[in-house]
Amino acid sequence: NEPVVYVGLSYCTGIWPPGPKVTDQLAQLNCMTNPKIGALRAQMNMVAAHKQVYSMIHAHESSIGRARHAPVGIAHLVMFSEASRPVLDSQSKLFLDSYSKYFFVDLVKSHIDFCGLNYYGKEVVEGMAAGFKADQIEYSGSGRGIFPSGLFALIADFHARYKDDPQARFMQPGGIGYVITENGVADATDILRPSYIIEHLLALSALRTRGIPVAGYVHWTLTDNWEWAD
């Protein structure tokens, strides 16, 4: 679940265990891109573990004679990103998009039966950090920009990238396609939530109408949610 988030917040910022906290942006960038340390090394270990477990599960299913194997996938966080300052932040946006959207999926695409995507909204990129545009974007209680159209755009982009990729197991015969493994809004008032759910489901309906295989949707969450940093 959210491997890129886990390794980034654990190793590159230290917000999650094991820490320690890292505030220098050059150190954070090195953590994300140096294959010998930090987040990138952790991701490569997670990829290797995922592939081993995938093969073990499918081998077990075959050994007990199941005609259809239990599907194995990932739950990968994606966001619709926008450069805060079109000139100054466009390169940061490009780097973060490549790193956070496709890098991990590219490494495991041959070993996932479905591509699970967690989507909450729009993130403004300012340097190597998150920006804030309260005058232009409606935000949830957790500070995420509400943007249902971004869900449509992201899955359409993923599909354009992987639909003809022979190594993308989830797009091959027997593959399941895409599952929205998390989508929801922090809203203590319950004012935003009804329209948020409806508009995101409409985005998925529009994708399915266009023939993009969205196989499932999981709303997150029905109860209060506590994370490592809460």
Give the active site residues: 2, 182
Task: Give the separation between CA 126 and CA 48, rounded to whole angstroms.
Answer: 33
Pairing of strands 114-126, 129-131: antiparallel
The CA-based angle 113-114-117, given to 5 degrees, is 155
The amino acid present at 179, given as its one-letter code, is V
The amino acid present at 182, given as its one-letter code, is E
What is residue 90's DSSP assignment? H
Measuring CA to CA, how many Å separate 147 from each of 24, 26, 80, 87? 30, 30, 8, 23
| 3-state SS, residue 79 | strand
> Would you state the structure tokens that stand for residue 63, as one six-digit string?
């050994």
What is residue 110's DSSP assignment? G
Task: Give the separation between CA 196 and CA 182, rounded to whole angstroms.
Answer: 13
